[in-house]
Amino acid sequence: MELITQIPLIGGTLAVVLPFLIVLLIVVFVHECGHYIVGRWCGIKAEVFSIGFGKPLWKWTDRRGTRWQVAALPLGGYVRFAGDMDPASAGRADDSALTPAEHRVAFHNANLLRRASTVAAGPFANFLLSVLIFAGISMSLGQGSNEPVIGAIGPDTAQDVGFVAGDRVLTIGDQEVADFDDIIDILARTDDEPQPVTVMRDGDMRQITMRYHRPPRITQVSPGTPAARAGLLGGDVFVSIDGEPVGSYRKLQLITLAKPHGAEIAVVVDRDGELLEFRLIPELVERTHPVTGEELLLPTMGVRGSLLAGIEPARESTPITTALAVGVDQTWQIISGTLIYISDMLFQGADTSQLGGPIRIAEISGDAAQQGFSSVIWLIAVLSTSIGLINLFPIPILDGGHMLFYAIELLRGRPVGELWMKVGTMIGLSFVVLLMIFATYNDLVRR
């Protein structure tokens, strides 16, 4: 990605656009594959499977008569089934010229269950992709054990930390330790202060002195956050904020919390021995206050530090069943969080400025690409869930709009009339376009 950014004139734009297109097209391809595969299972013929819109740049027709193509405008895709009036399946085309065999495989001649299954398969494929990606991440990283055992000592850890890998921690200060969560809770309140610790090491109980110091090093920059937009990267070490020295990660948190909302701050970081200055405006995000433990809206740059300054728990392999459960849970967290935000926005007056459009997604994709391959994979999972959920909204032109028409058909005992379907599709299209304009406006205001 750094090579791309060095291309004269267009390098910076390409570094944002290319990751965005790659992420978007992967998610769209999986979505359309869901429609295509289930449509085939239901005996419905797909005439065109297109990645992108407009003039085909490449096309190939398989032995089933489906034309696969890559089109000039790579901002989506579609599957057009036999008998469709358009790629959105918004109505029935004139099928008077179709043969009896072609009638049998036309989309609108399939029964209600087969049509509904084909439409629902697109969002379901997106959710399945997210679950598998999150499960794969869980399996590759392993599962942190909650046993109070030190698994690893990272390079950022102070030399006199006192712990060695394999220590089973029994007490810190005058507090007993039952699990690794206790170690996290206790050490988070003892930044840089020596503590007496009892450990079991090599079968012997020992008394040691532990000094915990969490350096202000960035391990991860969340895509789309002020830190990412400013250009901060994983590995940067904070030196100062508005001229005030930052000696530890806790100091970094406290200085940031003290800044007034909406105020620009100047941060200096050490990047591979070079001091660099960046300017950014922290955003208010609901998170846990590092001192009081309350859930509040707090100024946030969007960076993360290493857990316990590199003191890591012992890790154990993640069984596939557990990994899949993690994948389902993380996918559901995205879905439920989105629905709660929409509900708050509609009924509680929540801030609508957080709605983002294509520009914001492109920026987040570029940020993820800067952070590395794992961040891009994570973004694919998040975006796949979001697109799957959005497509289930009961808005004509989206998959959820088709499901709404099918629900009405089930209740009425006959399909919705062509006129009503066309009117609903135009209303739905207008709504989606207005929403995109509003989201894009937010993107431009935010820049």
Distance CA(356)–CA(353), nearest Å, equals: 8
Print burial letters for 293-303: b (CB count within 10 Å at least 16), e (below 16). Answer: eeeeebbbbbb
Instruction: Write down the catalytic residue from 32, 283, 312, 363.
Output: 32
> Helix axis angle, 399-412 relative to 418-446, nearest 10°?
150
Distance CA(423)–CA(370), nearest Å, equals: 44
Q: Are 176 and 199 in contact (CB under 8 A)?
A: no
Distance CA(215)–CA(93), nearest Å, equals: 65
R_g over Cα of the chain: 27
Q: Are 106 and 45 in contact (CB under 8 A)?
A: yes
DSSP string spanning 205-244?
A: EEEEEE------B-SEE-TTSHHHHHT--TT-EEEEETTE
Query: Among this protein's residues, is 32 annotated catalytic?
Result: yes
Tokens (6 digits) for 174: 């005058």
175 SS3 class: strand
- The set of catalytic residues is 32
